[in-house]
Amino acid sequence: MKSVYAPVLLATLIAIGCSGAALRTKVPPVTNAVSPARGVVAAGRIAPGDIVSLKAAGIRQVVDLTPDDETPDFDEATAVRANGLGYANLPLRGAADLTRGNVVAFDALLRASPKPVLVHCASGNRVGAMAALRAAWVEGRPADEAIEIGKRWGLKGLEGEVRRRIEASSAYGRD
C-alpha cells in the first residue's frame, strides 16, 4: 500500500516555498536599502537614476521623510510621479520632529501606501527612528523590542533620542 504522506508532505513544502517567495520584497540597489517588513523597503537618499531601479523592483509608492531643501537640485516628487509611482512626503529634519503626531502620520502613510512601498530619508536613520516610535506608540511594543525594530529599519544615530522618548512616554503616559 502506498503512503499518502509523501505526496501531502511534498505539496505542503511546495506551498510553503511558493508562499515564502511571494512574501519577499525585492530590494532595489539604493543607499542602505533593506526590507524590514513585508511590502516595505527602508532606505537612504534616492537619486534621479534610482527611480528606474525602484520601478524595476516593483516599488509602487515612495514615502520621502526629507524636507525639499535637503535636495535642492532634485525634484523627487515630480521625478517619481513622472515614472508612474506614487509619492508622499512627511518632512522630518531630525530629533525635534520625532513627535507623536508625526508618528501617527507615518503610520497612516504606511497603511495607505500601495505595496511594495519605499520609505526613505538621507541615510535610513529617520526611517528607523519613526519605525521604532511607531512600534512603541502605535503598536504598544516594549522599548527594547521597538528599538530593535527601528534598527532593522535603519535606526542608528537617533537611537538615544528615540529610547529617551519611548521611556519618557512610558513613564508619563505621553511624549
Q: What is the pLDDT of residue 173?
A: 56
How far CA 13 is from CA of 10, 22, 161, in Å, comes to 5, 14, 44
Q: Which domain CATH number covers 129?
A: 3.90.190.10
Grid coordinates in use for 140?
504598544
Residue 90 in any domain: the answer is yes
State how many domains the chain has.
Answer: 1
Q: Is the pLDDT of residue 11 over 90?
A: no
**Length of the chain as a residue count:** 175
Predicted confidence (pLDDT) per residue in 126-170, tens digit = 999 999 999 999 999 999 999 999 999 999 999 999 999 999 987
Residue 18 in any domain: the answer is no
Q: What confidence tier does 25 reach under pLDDT thresholds 50, 70, 90?
A: confident
Residue 101 in any domain: the answer is yes
Q: Is the pLDDT of residue 119 over 80?
A: yes
Predicted confidence (pLDDT) per residue in 60-95, tens digit = 999 999 999 999 999 999 999 999 999 999 999 999
Q: What is the pLDDT of residue 52?
A: 94
Residue 122: which residues within 8 A CB-CB, separation 6 or more?
Answer: 44, 45, 66, 70
Q: What is the pLDDT of residue 3?
A: 46
Residue 167 in any domain: the answer is yes
Q: Is the pLDDT of residue 13 over 60?
A: no
Residue 4 in any domain: the answer is no
Residue 3 in any domain: the answer is no
* Residue-by-residue DSSP string for 84-113: T-EEEE----SGGG--HHHHHHHHHHHHHS
Predicted confidence (pLDDT) per residue in 92-115, tens digit = 999 999 999 999 999 999 999 999
Query: Which residues constitute the domain of residue 114?
Result: 26-172
Q: Is the pLDDT of residue 43 over 90?
A: yes
Residue 14 in any domain: the answer is no
Residue 19 in any domain: the answer is no
Q: What is the pLDDT of residue 17?
A: 39
Q: What is the pLDDT of residue 30?
A: 93
Q: What is the pLDDT of residue 172?
A: 65
Largest CA-CA distance found in the chain, in angstroms, rounded = 74
Q: Is the pLDDT of residue 42 over 70?
A: yes
